[in-house]
Structure 1
Amino acid sequence: MREFVFALEYDPGTNPVADVLEANPETTVRSLACHVTSESLWRVDHATGSQAGIEALESAYREPTYCADCLVRDDCGADCETQLLDRSSDELVVYTYWDRTDVCTSVPHLALEYLGEGLLFETYREGRRYRWRIVLGRDAPVGDFFDALGDEVGECAGMEILRLTDLDPDREDDDADKSLPAEQRAALQAAVEYGYYETPRRTDLSELAEKLDVPRSTLSYRLRRAEATLATAFVADDSLEYDETLAVGR
């Protein structure tokens, strides 16, 4: 098995969810489930963020013309069902389902067509960036799939391949680093490279944001999320070592 990770970067006005996330950089969306057949698609997503961001995101999901993941820029005619499964001031769990029309297509539908059945999908959205991770067979024609996706996306979004690697259960990677989205990992790496964490700092947050060509608020949020993930992983590992020490001493 292999994993293929790539990202779409939506242009302004081409995707209502991307527009909301760009305007609310503290709000992100992560998939809980994503399933596709040749005739339909359904998924469950978990959003976290500010109250204003969650409210705007809910409105975007409820737009009559919005159909989750459909790449057709004009009205495709699909009947899209949207249901809120859970809602609080800073969280939203939403279910979406739609039946495919003759003109409908999507990342999962193209993947099913070119990469075959038995695929696993995972997505993460932040700002205009929509990252996809697909677990697929070793011999699946990834190049053909990505070319077809480029034809469907057209000029409404940029495309970037992040990695194509074998799934290796024995690979000794840092678990905390693997759990960081690519955007947060890149922000953290740049912060270290440019001396943001040095004392005294060689660069401040505004300068770093300018170097990375991202809004200051977006960079600040990415660094905070990355730092929180690493700190939580560190404390968990430290607690595990402490428990193992106690067990050995018994």
Structure 2
Amino acid sequence: MREFTFAIDYEKGVDPVMDVFLEHSTLSAHSLDAVVDEHAFWRMEHVTGPETALDRLEDIRFDDSCCGEAITEQRCAAERHHDVVERSTNELVLYSYLADIRQCESVHTLAGKHLPDGLIFETRRQEETCWWRVLMRSDEQIGIFYDELGARLHNGLSFRMGHLRDASEWRREQMAGLNLPEEQETALRTAVSAGYYDPPRETTLDELAVELSIPRSTLSYRLRQAESTLIHRYVDRNETTRWLE
């Protein structure tokens, strides 16, 4: 398998979806997409951010008159299907399926036209940038895809090349979720269930250590390690730019 990465930067007023990200710097989205063929694709998108931004993004996705896919001057006509899988005040999980795509030039349709069947995409959106990672069986036609993608972008969009290489490691943590060592996960789940992280705190490290039959110092170490992993994963906003290295 081969992996191709790139980024597209958006100026304000060019794309309705990206305008929401430009207006809300704390809004971020991660998606997995699959191309059925050049006329159809599906997406599962996970978005976190302010409730007002999520409301606006949901309205745009469900508005068939808004095109949030095209990257050239040619707007998209398609049969659109959207479903909200999960929604809270700061989180949105949205499923989208576009079929019978006509007169459209998006990353998905251009890739479906030039690259082999079975494509999978991972994207991240934040502020003015959408990062793309493409997993493909062969890069035989990647030159044509690259040339067409870079040369035909809509005014106000700019292209940044990442890399083309073997996909020996394809972001397993995003596909499988966050993994902690078993002893750290057990300690963390026990602490959460017992109310250790609730205000006011409902238990102590000593009580948890007795419940788990381990020394207090061992429990404290395991919780600190788990907390460090979770905090760094949440805070590290430079992770997306590593796609381009």
Q: Give the TM-score band, short-chain normalised.
A: 0.5 to 0.7
Structure showing greater Rg: 2
Q: Give the 3-state SS of the residue equivalent to 1:100 in structure 2.
A: strand
Quote the residue 1:229 is aligned against: 233
- For 1:3, give the aligned amino acid: E
Residues 128 and 136 of structure 1, relative CA distance in 2, 3 Å threshold: same
Greater CA drift, 69-78 or 90-99:
69-78
Q: 1:97 to 1:73 in 2, by over 3 A?
A: farther
* Compared CA separation, residues 138 and 75, structure 1 to 2 (3 A): closer
- Residue segments in structure 2 that go unaligned for 5+ positions in a row: 178-229, 237-245
Question: For residues 75 and 113 of structure 2, what CA distance do their matches in structure 1 show?
Answer: 22
Contact kept, 8 Å, 1:67 with 1:80, in 2: the verdict is: no
Separation of aligned partners in 1, 2:82 and 2:122: 19
| Paired residues for 1:29-44 under 5 Å | 29-44=29-44
* SS of 1:153 mapped into structure 2: coil
Q: Report the counterpart of residue 117 of structure 2 in structure 1.
A: 117
1:12 aligns with 2:12: yes
- With over 3 angstroms needed to count, the CA separation of the structure-2 counterparts of 1:89 and 1:230, relative to structure 1, is closer
Shift of 1:56: 2.3
Superposition CA RMSD, Å:
3.1
| 8 Å CA contact 1:26, 1:49 repeated in 2 | yes
CA deviations 1:8-52 (Å, max 9, x no partner) are: 111211111111011111111111343332322221101011222
Give the residue type in structure 1 aligned to 2:109.
H
Distance 1:86 1:152 in 2: 36
Deviation of 1:88 (Å):
0.5
- Looking at structure 2, the residues matched to 9 and 92 of structure 1 have their Cα atoms a distance apart, in angstroms, of 23
| Equivalent position SS for 2:78 | coil
Pair 1:38–1:230, CA change in 2 (3 A)? closer
Deviations 1:139-175 (A, max 9, x none): 4232211111124423231000112222235x9x9x8
Q: Which moved more, 1:89-98 or 1:146-155?
A: 146-155
CA distance in 2, matches of 1:71, 1:139: 21
Deviating beyond 6 angstroms after TM superposition, the runs of 4 or more aligned structure 1 residues are none
Looking at structure 2, the residues matched to 53 and 138 of structure 1 have their Cα atoms a distance apart, in angstroms, of 38
Letter in 2 for 1:51: E
* Alignment partner, residue 240 of structure 1: none
Aligned position for 1:154? 154
Distance 1:166 1:54, change over 3 A: same
Q: Deviations over 1:110-130 (max 9, x none)?
A: 112212112221111111211
Q: Which runs of 5+ in 1 are unaligned?
A: 180-225, 233-250
Deviations, residues 212-231 of structure 1 (Å, cap 9, x unaligned)? xxxxxxxxxxxxxx962288
Aligned CA distance change for structure 1 residues 81 and 97 (closer, same or farther; 3 Å): same
